[in-house]
Amino acid sequence: MNTPSDTPTPELSAGEQELAQASTSLVDTDTWVDPELAALCRGSAADGTVLLSNDGTLPLAARTRVALFSRVQVDYFTVGYGSGGDVNAPYSWNLLDALRDGGRVDVDAELADLYTQWSKDHQPDEGTWGNWPRYFDEMPLERETVRAAASRTDVAVVIIGRAAGEARENTLEPGSYYLTDDERTLLDSVTGEFERTVVILDCGNVIDLAWLEGYGEKISSVLYAWQGGMEGARAVADVLTGAQVPGGRLTDTIARHYEDYPSAPNFGGLEHNVYAEDIYVGYRYFETFAPEKVLFPFGFGLSYTTLEVAPTVETTDADVTVTATVTNTGSDHPGAEVVQVYVQAPDGLLGKPARSLVGFTKSSRLAPGESETVTVTVPVDSLASYDDAGVTGHRSAYVLEAGEYTVYVGTDVRTAAAVATVTVDATRVVQQLAEANAPEAEHAFQRMTVGRDADGQAVVAWQDVPTRQASRKDRIEARELHTVEQTGDQGITLADVAAGTATLDAFVAQLSDDELEALTRGDRVMGSELGVPGNAGVFAGISESLRAKGVPPVTTTDGPSGIRLSAYASLLPCGAALAATWNTPLVRRLAASHGQEMVRKGTHVLLSPGMNIHRDPLCGRNFEYFSEDPLVTGLVAAAVIGGVQEAGVAACPKHFAANNQETNRNLNDSRVSERALREIYLRGFQIAIAESAPRTIMTSYNKINGVWSHYNDELCTQVLRDEWGFEGTVVTDWWMQHATDPDFPAVTDDAYRVRAQVDVFMPGGWFDHVSGEFDQVAQASLLDSLARPDGIALGELQRTARTVLNLTLGLPVLRERVESLSAAGRQDA
């Protein structure tokens, strides 16, 4: 086990800390962790492990003699790199210590000592920001050493470890997506000497597994462990020994070869990426066009027992209700099953994938012979597709095309069986919307769609992507603003608003231009002195005058895998591990306990969950995100958000939107059809907002069809607020790009952002990468624009102020602070 003293915080310069969001040195050295939170971490990490193959070797019987191979048994990957993983964990377990501590199997001491000493003598280089190692070099091992270990033990366990991270993709190289020569040599030696070999994949991303077919029955069992945080190795030990069962199911398709993924030709571009595969992401592509290219299908995962799913279906004009009885038909082990519901929609004029996940639920853990009945209800309207071209006669609308919608139920996308058909007699509009974020004509491209050959088989066809027709300028000029006349300080505090003795409008009317400007940004730096040490940034009450009026500073911290402060905090299972549980009640309980830790640590907004789509397996931050599927993404994210906000603090889902690669992420343009945006890349956010009402949301770094998300009015106003009804605060990812509104030249930078209703620029200071200093001239652009008749309007700043102040009023964790600041302000006055 790694103790705090074994894992010093890396030393970085102030500039590196500011730009890299790197953890600062420890100030608070309290290592206490709530036992309930630790148990939930361990349990959820186990529930997310995916058993890909098993000949009966797992679970290991009591007192099985086990030989552990690979240095990763000692140098275990607990999480990926960057803001989603750089947490000061009070401890973390490795697999060697976890198996020994469990005491259920006998780990070969001679081999373990050899690896431990070699690892100690060859400490891995942890790298620097954006240059972390993706793997660790293996210890050279003579075949005779392997043979000797085989003579002493019953089973070999080989661990393959990988990590990626923020600003650092996986690559198509050995030691990243592919095995290294040393790893292949190790596997050859072990499988050549042992009758039973178990492979553990300690990875945050999907990696190449085509090599498994070459080994065939020489590899007895394969367990995708993901990266389970500080308790992850203990969770894997629990699963290996049968104390827990592998409860996970894949949330991504594992293809035979990287080149088989539909995104492969259009991933990693420096300037832009064309999302030519359109809605055919992951299993939507494979099940439609290339089922033979799949090694392990979406939704797949084995158990230690046999689980039978017996569904019945009832349909009405409004809903499809699947009732399934799950029975553990085995005799030796408990198990839980995920009941997955898919629909095949008619091709129609729009073209549809062969399968789309429309609902799921997970049974409880069932003892042998035990049964449970579960229910999944799917609204028929949710089966609609978005027509961005007008081919159905209803442009910019969700449409249910006429035809038969076949319902499939099963335990993965491939084995799900047809159980019912819903007939739509005539095409109907489910929701009429307006064009938003369509590609520009100068960046037009062709997108994938469904064609049919002479035998009626689906083949890839191509069509021109619909391009922009709407005028953004006209829509903004038609927008009505609620403006209140500035009154100067009237002695109203925010506590008066909270108590109902004054209106929020009356409070906002008091605010000067400088105070309004301050509410639109953070305190310029990470590690603000207004928040707990090591914070990611602070906003709201960042000026003395605002605090005197009762506005509290709001502290933000990363992130998806733990609270990143100058303090010890729990390191949670990564997002990919949590999603693989398909167990939203468990994820919510974990998040609720994590929210309580936030309260104890003094932070208010957790920059989590990360919920971008796994468009391509090489994306460096896939470990933070959940799935290639938007429904899984949205429902798991909703569980995280709901749990965190139970504690009276806020969750901040990110990165909104289409942030699907790390390469040149600050400048890269995601060129994507409006249909794919709405059905794939925005859908998860829409679900999470509808289900759990997050108090904040974070924009992404990238452009979407030529417009940076932090300036994107169509994304952050038209879609997010007007269509989805989001009422919370929108914050930027840390730092932005300079830009001028193309329709309103007097509106630049922060004014451009505020016009789009991106409320808060974080951390708040424009950083000059050349001088290494903050650019105060750029900071003044908002007030300069306000002073111009053709610039930003007072009502737009006041609108942002109301949004930010409503956040401070709505967070229970801040209520006492509002009262104390207001009382102090009255006394000073």
Mean pLDDT of successive 10-residue segments in the chain (829 residues)?
A: 36 35 70 96 98 98 98 96 91 97 97 97 85 92 97 98 93 97 98 98 97 97 98 98 97 98 96 98 98 98 98 96 98 96 97 98 98 98 98 98 98 97 96 97 97 95 96 91 96 96 98 97 94 96 97 95 95 98 98 98 97 97 97 98 98 97 94 98 98 98 97 97 98 94 94 97 80 66 93 97 97 92 81
459 located within any domain: yes
Please report which helix (H) or strand (E) contains residue 197, including its range: strand 197-202
Residue 808 token pair: 């401070």
Q: Please say whether the beta carbons of 385 and 350 come within 8 A.
A: yes
Q: Where are the strands (E) in 211-316, listed by range?
A: 221-224, 254-255, 272-274, 294-296, 307-315
Same domain (yes/no): 75, 164: yes
Same domain (yes/no): 230, 326: no
CATH code (residue 131): 3.40.50.1700
Q: Please say whether the beta carbons of 652 and 556 come within 8 A.
A: yes
Same domain (yes/no): 332, 447: yes
Domain ends where: 197, 219, 244? Answer: 244
Give long-range contacts, CB 8 A cutoff, 24+ apart: 138-145.
Answer: 138/70, 138/71, 138/180, 138/182, 138/183, 138/186, 139/71, 139/114, 139/115, 140/182, 141/69, 141/186, 141/189, 143/189, 143/192, 143/193, 145/111, 145/114
Question: In whole angstroms, what is the distance from residue 673 CA to residue 678 CA?
Answer: 9
295 located within any domain: yes
Question: In whole angstroms, what is the distance from residue 227 CA to residue 224 CA?
Answer: 9
Same domain (yes/no): 289, 198: no
Same domain (yes/no): 223, 291: no
Same domain (yes/no): 238, 296: no
- Phi and psi dihedrals of 637, rounded to 5? -60, -40
Same domain (yes/no): 437, 291: yes
Residue 805 token pair: 């102040």
Q: Where are the strands (E) in 498-546, listed by range?
A: 537-540
388 located within any domain: yes
Same domain (yes/no): 239, 287: no
- Phi and psi dihedrals of 157, rounded to 5? -120, 120
Collapsing DSSP states into helix, strand and coil, what is residue 255?
strand
577 located within any domain: no
CATH code (residue 334): 2.60.40.10
- The predicted pLDDT at position 778 comes to 64
Residue 539 has a CB neighbour count (10 Å cut-off) of: 32
- CA 134, 140, 145, 146 dihedral sign is positive
- The predicted pLDDT at position 559 comes to 83
- The predicted pLDDT at position 671 comes to 98
313 located within any domain: yes
Same domain (yes/no): 230, 300: no
Domain count, the chain: 2
Max Cα-Cα span within the chain: 86
| 439: containing domain | 283-472
- The predicted pLDDT at position 10 comes to 30
Active-site annotation holds for 784: no
SS (H, E, C) 775-810: CHHHHCHHHHHHCCCCCCCHHHHHHHHHHHHHHHHH
- Phi and psi dihedrals of 423, rounded to 5? -105, 125
Please report which helix (H) or strand (E) contains residue 320, including its range: strand 319-328
Q: Where are the strands (E) in 381-453, listed by range?
A: 385-387, 397-400, 403-410, 417-424, 428-432, 446-452
Same domain (yes/no): 425, 291: yes
Q: Please say whether the beta carbons of 724 and 694 come within 8 A.
A: no
809 located within any domain: no
779 located within any domain: no
The catalytic position among 412, 733, 749, 750 is 733
- The predicted pLDDT at position 31 comes to 92
Domain ends where: 223, 244, 265? Answer: 244
Domain ends where: 440, 472, 504? Answer: 472
Question: In whole angstroms, what is the distance from residue 144 CA to residue 130 CA?
Answer: 39
Question: In whole angstroms, what is the distance from residue 428 CA to residue 63 CA?
Answer: 63
Please report which helix (H) or strand (E) contains residue 361, including its range: strand 356-362
Collapsing DSSP states into helix, strand and coil, what is residue 121?
helix
Same domain (yes/no): 448, 388: yes
- CA 281, 283, 287, 290 dihedral sign is positive
Question: In whole angstroms, what is the distance from residue 615 CA to residue 586 CA?
Answer: 26
Same domain (yes/no): 228, 292: no
429 located within any domain: yes
- The predicted pLDDT at position 239 comes to 98
